[in-house]
C-alpha cells in the first residue's frame, strides 16, 4: 500500500513539475541548444548530443545574470555548442560571460572549456576536477578550490561546495541564495529517473551520504536543477536518495 501511495505521489509531482515547465519561457537557439528561463536572472541551458549507447541526450547547465554580466555553470557538450551559446547570449541578451564553473570533469559539464578559455573567461573548479582533467589530457580550469568557494556576480552571491563523491568523485553543487537555486547537476536525478545512471566514475557507497549532506545544507532550496531532465524542487533530492538505496 505504501509503495502504491509513493508511486502516486511521484506521479503527481512529475505532472505538476511538467505543467510548470511547460509555462516557462523557452528560447530555441538551434536544433540542439535551448534556454529555459526560470527566474528574472537565471536560465537553464539545455544542449543535446547523440550517444551510441543512450541515443539523443539533453544536458542541463545554468546561466546566471546580474547587470549585463553572467556566470556559466557547466558548458554544453562541445566547443561548437558553447560558442553558439555564448555568442547568442552576447548578441541577443547583450551580456558578457565573466566566469565559468563546471560541476565535474565529464564532457556534459566542461566539453566547451577550450572555447571558454579562448574567450579569456575565468574558470573555477574543484581541485579534484583539475587533477582529473590533467590526468585525462583535457583542458584545465585555471582556479581551484578544495571544500568551498564563494564568488560575487554583481550583487549576487555564488557558493560552491564539495560534499563528497556521488555521480563522480569530484562533483560539486552550486547554490545561488538570491534565487534559491541549487544546481547539483548529475549528482541529482529528475523525477522520471528509475536509476542513478552512469556511475562508472563515481562512488555508490558514498552517494547516499553525499546526497544527505546536500539535503541538510539547503533546506530552503526552491529550484533544484539536475544534470539531465526536468528541474523541480527538493523532491528531486529525496527521489535521488531513494534511488541510492535501491
**pLDDT tens digits along 9-40:** 444 444 444 444 545 799 999 999 999 999 99
d(C-alpha 202, C-alpha 200), whole Å: 6
Beta-carbon contacts of residue 196 (< 8 Å; ≥ 6 apart): 167, 189, 204, 207, 240, 243, 244
- pLDDT of amino acid 21: 52
Global pTM reads 0.90
Class of domain 14-244: alpha beta
What integer is the mean pLDDT of 65-89? 98
- pLDDT of amino acid 54: 78
Residue entry with cell 590526468: 135
- List residues with catalytic annotation: 104, 106, 108, 167, 186, 189, 198, 228
Q: What are phi and psi of 166, to 5 degrees?
A: -155, -105
- The residue ranges of DSSP E strands in the chain, in sequence order, are 25-30, 33-39, 42-51, 55-66, 69-73, 96-101, 122-126, 143-145, 148-153, 156-161, 173-176, 181-185, 223-226
pLDDT range class, residue 176, cuts 50, 70, 90: very high
Report the share of the chain in percent with pLDDT over 90.
87
- pLDDT of amino acid 24: 78
d(C-alpha 203, C-alpha 207), whole Å: 6
Report the share of the chain in percent with pLDDT over 70.
91
Query: Tell me: the pLDDT tens digits for 96-133?
Result: 999 999 999 999 999 999 999 999 999 999 999 999 99
Domain ranges of the chain: 14-244
Query: Tell me: the pLDDT tens digits for 190-238?
Result: 999 999 999 999 999 999 999 999 999 999 999 999 999 999 999 999 9
Amino acid at each position: 500500500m505504501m509503495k502504491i501511495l509513493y508511486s502516486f505521489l511521484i506521479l503527481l509531482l512529475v505532472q505538476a513539475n511538467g505543467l510548470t515547465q511547460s509555462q516557462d519561457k523557452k528560447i530555441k537557439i538551434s536544433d540542439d541548444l535551448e534556454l529555459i528561463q526560470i527566474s528574472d536572472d537565471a536560465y537553464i541551458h539545455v544542449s543535446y548530443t547523440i550517444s551510441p549507447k543512450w541515443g539523443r541526450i539533453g544536458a542541463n547547465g545554468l546561466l546566471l545574470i546580474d547587470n549585463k554580466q553572467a556566470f556559466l555553470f557547466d558548458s554544453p557538450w562541445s566547443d561548437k555548442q558553447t560558442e553558439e551559446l555564448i555568442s547568442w547570449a552576447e548578441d541577443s541578451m547583450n551580456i558578457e560571460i565573466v566566469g565559468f564553473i563546471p560541476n565535474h570533469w565529464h564532457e556534459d559539464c566542461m566539453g566547451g572549456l577550450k572555447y571558454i578559455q579562448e574567450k579569456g573567461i575565468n574558470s573555477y573548479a574543484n581541485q579534484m576536477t583539475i587533477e582529473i582533467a590533467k590526468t585525462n589530457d583535457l583542458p584545465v580550469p585555471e582556479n581551484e578550490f578544495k571544500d568551498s568557494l564563494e564568488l560575487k556576480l554583481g550583487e549576487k552571491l555564488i557558493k560552491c561546495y564539495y560534499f563528497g563523491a556521488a555521480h563522480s568523485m569530484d562533483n560539486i553543487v552550486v547554490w545561488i541564495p538570491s534565487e534559491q537555486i541549487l544546481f547539483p547537476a548529475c549528482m541529482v536525478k529528475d523525477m522520471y529517473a528509475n536509476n542513478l545512471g552512469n556511475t562508472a566514475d563515481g562512488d555508490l557507497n558514498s552517494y547516499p551520504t553525499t546526497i544527505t549532506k546536500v539535503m541538510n545544507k539547503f533546506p530552503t532550496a526552491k529550484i533544484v536543477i539536475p544534470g539531465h531532465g526536468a528541474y523541480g524542487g527538493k523532491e528531486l533530492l529525496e527521489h535521488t536518495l531513494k534511488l541510492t538505496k535501491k
